[in-house]
Amino acid sequence: LAKTTQPISMDSYEGQEVNITCSHNNIATNDYITWYQQFPSQGPRFIIQGYKTKVTNEVASLFIPADRKSSTLSLPRVSLSDTAVYYCLVKALRAGNMLTFGGGTRLMVKP
């Protein structure tokens, strides 16, 4: 399983763009990169998933360079409600659905 490394915490201000980078040096050919958001005492919420290049949805963008050894979650114009823990996961394409969570990045958005 590819291990992920991401910053423990980040601070930002409302209206700014936030970029959270995750390293996954041992990512395998068939692994996907997935990001989840979690608020206290709630289950993680899926944000975005990608394999290579760039993926964008209504809440975030995911940038993955050609070597796929890292990825960057970009949150445009954050608000106070984006204060949460963000998890980067590498999802192995094998039988079953087993997610391996790291420590996550605690994002604090300040007014």
Partner 1 sequence: KAGVTQTPRYLIKTRGQQVTLSCSPISGHRSVSWYQQTPGQGLQFLFEYFSETQRNKGNFPGRFSGRQFSNSRSEMNVSTLELGDSALYLCASSPGTQTDTQYFGPGTRLTVL
Of 17, 103, 108, 110, which lies in the binding site for partner 1, with binding defined by CB under 8 A?
Answer: 103
Give phi and psi for 81, each to the nearest 5. -70, -5
Return left, alpha or beta for 51; rule: phi > 0 is left, psi -120 to 50 is alpha, else beta.
alpha
**Position 63 contacts partner 1 (CB under 8 A):** no
Sign of CA dihedral 36, 42, 12, 75: positive
Q: Which stretch binds partner 1 (CB under 8 A): 13-21, 55-63, 68-76, 89-97?
A: 89-97
**Which parts of 41-60 interact with partner 1 (CB under 8 A)?**
41-46, 49
Partners of 46 in beta bridges: 36
Residues engaged in binding partner 1 (CB under 8 A): 32, 34, 36, 41-46, 49, 87, 91, 93-104
